[in-house]
Amino acid sequence: MSKKPVLKGLSKFVRSVGVCMSVCIGVAAFTLCTPAFAQNSDDVGQAALIQQTELNPQSQPQPGQTPAGLQERPKQEYAENYVFVDAGKRREFLELTAELRCPKCQNQNIADSDAPIAHDMRRKTYELMQEGKDKSQVIEWMKVRYGDFVHYQPPVNAVTIWLWVLPVLFAVLMLVFFILRRKPDIEQDIESKLARADQMLKDD
């Protein structure tokens, strides 16, 4: 094996970097797999909504009202106030608005966004919950209209499976490659070099 030491050192370095990277990517992929990470949302928006839901319990949207009765509607507050009798329901509402993604703005959940569409979606979420729909039904309702984009947890399907599989596959491949490429003849190499050095010394 007559290889330039610089190149050899370089290839070794590249290989170890490759292994480190693949391990990192593997770890990241597994972190992403856990639902806790995907649902990790902005606490600020949630806190604001908690406040909103607690304040002003007297006024609330009236979804069932007929259009004809529009002009007789009482003057309403600007902020939306969603009233829940059941604390569990309220928790569910806050979870939903944190999990659902605003389709208009880039990467904000509907609890956090002030876009008109986010207001509408919060109101719709509330309405659907009042109708007795559970969390998954509300998410499904939104998905039918706005696609998988609207939920922060992407479904695992034929397209998205690669997000999880590719990094792991890459890490495994790199590991196999690394093990296969390890050469046991380094010692011999050194021995032959030492012999050559001895020879040179003798020649002098």
Residues 36-75 as x/- pattern, contact with other proteins by CB under 8 A: -----------------------x-xxx---xx-xx-x-x
Among 42, 80, 92, 95, the residue binding other proteins under the rule CB under 8 A is 80
Q: What is the DSSP letter of 115?
A: S
Asked whether the beta carbons of 60 and 76 are under 8 A apart, the reply is no
Stretch of 24-32, 39-47, 112-120, 156-164 lying at the interface with other proteins (CB under 8 A): 112-120
> CB 139 → other proteins: shortest distance, Å?
14
Query: How far is it, in rounded angstroms, from Cα 38 to Cα 179?
Result: 34
Helix (H, G, I), strand (E, B) or coil at 151: strand
Locate 94 and state its tokens. 């806050």
Q: Whose CA is closest to 35, among 132, 121, 138, 164?
A: 164
Task: Candidates 48, 115, 168, 175: give the one binding other proteins (CB under 8 A).
Answer: 115
Contact 41, 109 (CB under 8 A): yes
Residues lying near other proteins in the complex (CB under 8 A): 11, 14, 59, 61-63, 67-68, 70-71, 73, 75-80, 103-104, 106, 115-117, 119-121, 123-124, 144-147, 149
